[in-house]
Amino acid sequence: QVQLVESGGGLVQAGGSLRLSCAASGSIFSASVMGWYRQAPGKQRELVVTITGRGTTNYADSVKGRFTVSRDNAKNTVYLQMNSLKSEDTAVYYCNLRYGLMNYWGQGTQVTVSS
């Protein structure tokens, strides 16, 4: 069983920055595809970015150039640096781990951007 614990959310003004972290338990982290997803009120959960174990990334167009994902396999942690935040970035952000058929989600962390 894998547990994912997100941290770093909060309230920030438009144009500001936040850094999210997601710590994973277990031994499969380095071989897993890690992802950040978000869900705004009344909307479906959407992809923000994924990163493979080797560091290949895939960003949603809406965050390209503003958000940066990174991972530290020695610490079993993935990060999301969010810059130039906009009000439309307001959502609950979820960490995701995929390994083969296994798929795990964190509990989510709220990010609120005030305009």
Give pLDDT tens digits along the chain (115 positions). 899 999 999 999 999 999 999 999 988 898 899 999 999 999 999 999 999 999 999 999 999 999 999 999 999 999 999 999 999 999 999 999 999 999 999 999 999 999 8
Cα 29 to Cα 77: distance, rounded to the nearest angstrom: 8
What is the identity of the amino acid at 77? T
Edge-to-edge order in the sheet of strand 4-7: 4-7, 18-24, 77-82, 67-72
The Cα angle at residue 64 between residues 103 and 108, in degrees rounded to 5: 35
Residues 91 and 37: beta-carbon distance below 8 Å: no
Give the H or E element holding residue 106. Answer: none
> What is the 8-class DSSP label of residue 3?
-
What is the identity of the amino acid at 27? S
